[in-house]
Amino acid sequence: KAGVTQTPRYLIKTRGQQVTLSCSPISGHRSVSWYQQTPGQGLQFLFEYFSETQRNKGNFPGRFSGRQFSNSRSEMNVSTLELGDSALYLCASSLEAAGGAYEQYFGPGTRLTVT
Amino acid sequence: GENVEQHPSTLSVQEGDSAVIKCTYSDSASNYFPWYKQELGKRPQLIIDIRSNVGEKKDQRIAVTLNKTAKHFSLHITETQPEDSAVYFCAASGGANNLFFGTGTRLTVIP
């Protein structure tokens, strides 16, 4: 099976702009989680989507949002970009049958640089 | 929310020696504990995980132990090889797909 894919891989934006990142999970996986990775804060959970519904949300401002489509592909959006949003954004997909925590497999990430 | 602490932040071992990385968690409701390996410029890769109903799990040279009472879990790598050099992250979850990660351990295996 193909792994988790993310597009684009690299992105440079200016403060105040918005950005949309895309994630395609492993075929058959219905849960997609998003994480932000920075040298200072490490890996932090943003949100999780399952069956097109946001099921869990981390402690990030409302500028960070996401959605999931019927084919399980997910997008995350960051509006009014700030310099501190520069990070590697990772998505992870999980095969889930009956709730609980399952193995999460990460995509290669999107490296976002805000100038 | 959950708080995961990881030690040490850096670890250097001679090739063939063992490496141990330790993590503690704060939320007694956490019941899933994965470990990820991240090489420079690459995605985190799941290497082993353990659930709260198990005390130890092994996969070839890698093992993880869990002490629920003390709320800590550890990664053990035996017979280390240069290709084991990477950053290792522990994580904890309380039954949902939202992982709380430790701050990472940079492991260097010296040939």
- pLDDT at position A80 is 97
The reply to whether A60 touches chain B by the CB within 8 Å rule is no
pLDDT at A48 over 70: yes
Give the rounded distance of the alpha carbon of A78 from its chain centre.
10
- pLDDT at position A97 is 57
- pLDDT at position A2 is 83
The position carrying tokens 């040490």 is B8
**Residues of chain B numbered 29-48 and touching chain A (CB < 8 Å):** 31-32, 34, 36, 42-46
Alpha-carbon gap, residue A3 to A92, rounded angstroms? 10
- Name residues whose C-beta falls within 8 Å of residue B79's C-beta, 6 or more positions apart in sequence: B16, B18, B61
Angle at A42 between CA B73 and CA A96, to 5 degrees: 65
pLDDT tens readout for residues A51-63:
899 988 999 999 9
